[in-house]
Amino acid sequence: MVPFKMPILVLTLYLLQGTGASLIKLNGNGYENVVIAIDPNVPEDEKLIQQIEDMISEASTYLYRATEKRFYFESVSILIPKTWQPKSDYEKPKHETYKNADIIIEVPNSPGNDIPRIDQFGKCGERGERIYLTPRIIRGEMLNVFGPKGKVLVHEWAHFRWGVFEEYNEDNPFYQFDGKNVPVKCSEGITGTNKVYACSGGSCSIRDCWTDPKTGKLNKDCMFIPDKVQSEKASIMFMQSIDSVVEFCTEKNHNRFAPNLQNKMCYLKSTWEVIQDSEDYKKSTPMMAAEPPKSRFSLKQIGERILVLVIDTSRSMKVGNRLNRLRQASQFFLLQIIEKGSWTGIVTFDSSATIQSELIQIESDVQRKTLISRLPNVTVAGGGAHICSGLRTAFMVVKKKFLTDGSEMVLLTDGEDNTTNTCFEEVKQSGAIIHTIVLGPSTEKGLEKLSEMTGGMKTTATDNVQNNGLIDAFSALSSGNAAITQRSIKLESKGITLTNEGWMNGTVIIDSTVGKDTLFLVTWTAQQPEMFVTDPSGNIYKNFAVETSSQMAYLQIPNTAQVGIWTYSLKSSAQTLTLTVTSRAANPTVSPITVDSRMNKDTSRFPSPMIVYAEVRQGSLPIIGANVTALIESADGTVTLELLDNGAGADVFKNDGVYSRYFTAYKKNGRYSLKVRALGGTNTQRSRPKVNGAFYIPGWVENGEIKMNPPKPEISEDENQANMQSFSRTSSGGSFIVSNIPPTVPDVFPPNRIIDLEANVEDDHINLTWTAPGDDFDTGRAEEYIIKMSKDILTLRENFDAALQVNTTDLIPNDANAKEDFMFKPDFLIENGTTVFLAIKAVDKANLTSPISNIAQASLIIPSAEDPFSPSPEDPFSPSGTSISTIVLSVVGTVAAVAIIVSVTVCVMKKKR
Ligand SMILES: [Ca+2]
Ligand SMILES: [Ca+2]
Nearest to 632 by CA among 491, 736, 730, 727: 736
Cβ contact 913:690 at 8 Å: yes
Cβ contact 339:562 at 8 Å: no
User: Catalytic residues, which ones?
Assistant: 156
Q: Which ligand is nearest to the CA of 628?
A: 1
Question: How large is the average pLDDT for residues 154-169?
Answer: 97
pLDDT reading at 7 higher than 50? no
Q: Which ligand is nearest to the CA of 122?
A: 1
CA of 657 to the centre of ligand 1 (A): 6
pLDDT reading at 175 higher than 50? yes
CA distance 392 to 347: 10
Q: For the domain 25-165+271-301, what is the CATH code?
A: 3.40.390
pLDDT reading at 109 higher than 80? no
pLDDT reading at 909 higher than 50? no
- Per-residue pLDDT band for 447 (boundaries 50, 70, 90) equals confident
Greater confidence (411 vs 719) lies with 411
- 250-274 CB burial, b ≥16 within 10 A, e <16: beebbbbbbbbbbbbbbbbbbbbbb
The listed CATH number (1.10.10.60, 2.60.40.10, 3.40.50.300, 1.10.8.60) that belongs to domain 746-913: 2.60.40.10
pLDDT reading at 682 higher than 90? no
306-312 and 343-349 strand pairing: parallel
Residue type, 890: S
pLDDT reading at 895 higher than 80? no
Supply the pLDDT for residue 912.
Answer: 37
CA of 690 to the centre of ligand 1 (A): 10
Contacts of residue 536, defined as CB under 8 A and 6 or more positions apart, other chains included, come to 510, 562, 563, 564, 565, 566
Q: For the domain 305-464, what is the CATH code?
A: 3.40.50.410
Q: Give the bridge partners for 204, in sequence order.
A: 199
In 411-444, which ranges are continuous DSSP H helix?
424-430
CA distance 733 to 724: 26
Question: How large is the average pLDDT for residues 543-569?
Answer: 96
Residues within 5 A (CB) of ion ligand 1: 645, 651, 653, 656, 658
CA distance 420 to 431: 17
Q: What is the mean pLDDT of the chain?
A: 88
Q: Which ligand is nearest to the CA of 756?
A: 1
Supply the pLDDT for residue 556.
Answer: 96
CA distance 838 to 542: 65
CA of 912 to the centre of ligand 1 (A): 12
Lowest-confidence segment of 129-143, 445-459, 625-639, 866-880 by average pLDDT:
866-880
Chain CA centroid to CA 521, Å: 30
Q: Which ligand is nearest to the CA of 646?
A: 1
CA of 614 to the centre of ligand 1 (A): 9
Q: Which CATH architecture has domain 603-692+720-739?
A: Sandwich (2.60)
Q: Which ligand is nearest to the CA of 850?
A: 2
CA of 771 to the centre of ligand 1 (A): 14
Q: What do you get for the CA distance between the two ends of the chain, in Å?
A: 26
CA distance 574 to 496: 10
* Segments making up each domain of the chain, as ranges: 25-165+271-301, 174-265, 305-464, 603-692+720-739, 746-913
CA of 266 to the centre of ligand 2 (A): 23
Give yes or no on whether 25-165+271-301 and 603-692+720-739 have one common fold. no
Nearest to 549 by CA among 372, 676, 419, 804: 372
Positive or negative CA dihedral for 583, 589, 590, 593? positive
- Per-residue pLDDT band for 479 (boundaries 50, 70, 90) equals confident
pTM for the whole thing?
0.89
The pLDDT tens digits of the residues spanning 568-625 come to 999 999 999 999 999 999 998 888 999 999 999 988 999 999 999 999 998 888 899 9
| Bond before 607 cis per omega within 30 degrees | yes
CA distance 802 to 379: 72
Nearest to 513 by CA among 410, 572, 434, 592: 592
Cβ contact 238:695 at 8 Å: yes
CA distance to 793, 883, 884, per residue, from 873 (Å):
21, 13, 11
CA of 122 to the centre of ligand 1 (A): 10
Supply the pLDDT for residue 16.
Answer: 35
pLDDT reading at 345 higher than 70? yes
CA of 349 to the centre of ligand 1 (A): 44
Residue 797, φ and ψ in degrees, nearest 5: -70, -45
- Please count the other Cβ atoms lying within 10 Å of the Cβ belonging to residue 631: 19
pLDDT reading at 196 higher than 70? yes
CA of 858 to the centre of ligand 1 (A): 26
